[in-house]
Structure 1
Amino acid sequence: METAGHAEYRLQGLPPVIHASSRTLILGSMPGAVSLSKQEYYGHPRNHFWPLLYAIWGEGSPPETAYRDRLDFALEQGVGLWDVLAGCEREGSLDADIRKPEANDFILLLNEYPTIERVFFNGKTAEQLYRKQVLPQLLKQEKGTHIKYDTLPSSSPARAMSLQDKLVDWRKLGDA
């Protein structure tokens, strides 16, 4: 589709990574181009997500381990991963370029995983999209009213902040 002189592409997100014992859910907005091409959450080598998780819990192998091992590490901490959006149009990887956002089905997710107590947004865009596209439907269905929400600085390399500075806020995950 051509709009205003540039092409936009319909993207589909990744399925949730979650377990019956997950108590915490980390929500991004929509995976970037590198992550989508690899079909991996936080697959860009400069994304701070995996180094942050390993720094918080300080165990296990370094983030260079196989993707499945990183997912297992997150799940062992009671952390599930998903994105607010199931799909959108976007050229490139920037949240600012997201058009025609379509939210994931959180009513279905919370019905299947009622153990979720905390949701952490990986960046302000994820929070804004959730509050606009998801929360009204949840409240209408009286779902997730017990969930506590918090917004963390984006782990994306586009967020100009050092790993150590991000870690100050991200340590809240370990306290959850």
Structure 2
Amino acid sequence: MPDNNLHRLPDQLRANLRLVFVGTAASTRSATVGHYYAHPRNRFWRALHEAGITPRRYRPDEFTALLELGIGFTDLSKTGAGMDHEIARGSFDVAGFRTKIEMVRPNTIAFTSRKAASLFYDRPTSALALGRQPAINGFPDVFVLSSPSGAASGHWTLQPWRELAQWITEP
């Protein structure tokens, strides 16, 4: 799908969130319905609950309710929609993402795929391990999660999601 501002998902950010999920861009389905992680085969909402990040399984149309739990959402491309390989490289705004995060200062950010993290770190996906990443001075704690997308089923594991849940719930 071509980049198109009509397909933008609004950021769900505010100051001092405990966690912000960061994707590459909205899927075609998410862009169409206006909800994060909306494709029926996407494991995101199930993983949140199964890992212990949320007290119940939320639906994609309830994504704004997660702000009450201290959880926000954004994407590296706010104008692209579709599968990662369909998103124009120039639509990824890593500098803008960094600025947003520095403004709202969440405790932790979690990239919902190695692709998103690779764009942020400017490193190949193969160079990134799942789980907690080395600290970046002045930046929130960073986790890289296995992609919940149905298209990434062969690489799915809940383990880094569980590690994230343990990290954000420890006193």
Task: Measure the CA separation in 1 of the matches of 2:137 and 2:35.
Answer: 27
1:147 CA drift (Å): 1.9
1:59 CA drift (Å): 2.0
Contact persistence 1:87–1:101 (CA under 8 A) = no
SS at match of 2:144: strand
Q: Which has the larger radius of gyration?
A: 1
Structure 1 consecutive aligned stretches of length 4 or more whose deviation exceeds 6 Å: none
Matched positions, count: 150
Query: Map of 1:148-167 to 2, 5 A cutoff?
Result: 148-161=141-154, 166-167=157-158
Over 3 Å counting, the alpha-carbon distance change for 1:83 and 1:144 in structure 2 is farther
Find the counterpart in structure 1 of residue 41 from structure 2.
Answer: 46
Task: Measure the CA separation in 1 of the matches of 2:102 and 2:109.
Answer: 15
Task: Measure the CA separation in 2 of the matches of 1:84 and 1:172.
Answer: 23
Q: Identity of paired residues, percent?
A: 23
Do residues 83 (structure 1) and 75 (structure 2) align? yes
Find the counterpart in structure 2 of residue 124 from structure 1.
Answer: 114
Over 3 Å counting, the alpha-carbon distance change for 1:129 and 1:11 in structure 2 is farther
1:125 CA drift (Å): 1.0
User: Which consecutive unaligned segments of at least 5 residues does structure 2 have?
Assistant: 123-135
- Show CA shifts across 1:90-143 (max 9, x none): 6xx3212222332162354235412x12211100111112223xxxxxxxxxx9
Task: Measure the CA separation in 1 of the matches of 2:49 and 2:142.
Answer: 22
SS at match of 1:82: strand
- Show CA shifts across 1:6-49 (max 9, x none): xx612333121123341211100001100100011001111111
Find the counterpart in structure 2 of residue 101 from structure 1.
Answer: 90
Find the counterpart in structure 1 of residue 12 from structure 2.
Answer: 17
Q: Could you state the TM-score of these two structures normalised by the residue count of structure 2?
A: 0.73
Over 3 Å counting, the alpha-carbon distance change for 1:101 and 1:87 in structure 2 is farther
The structure whose residues are more often strand, as a share, is 1
SS at match of 2:4: strand
Task: Choose the corresponding residue for 1:67, options 61, 68, 71.
Answer: 61
Letter in 2 for 1:76: E
RMSD (Å) for aligned C-alpha atoms = 2.7
Q: Could you state the TM-score of these two structures normalised by the residue count of structure 1?
A: 0.72
Task: Measure the CA separation in 2 of the matches of 1:144 and 1:109.
Answer: 16
Contact persistence 2:28–2:83 (CA under 8 A) = no
Contact persistence 2:2–2:87 (CA under 8 A) = no
The structure whose residues are more often helix, as a share, is 2
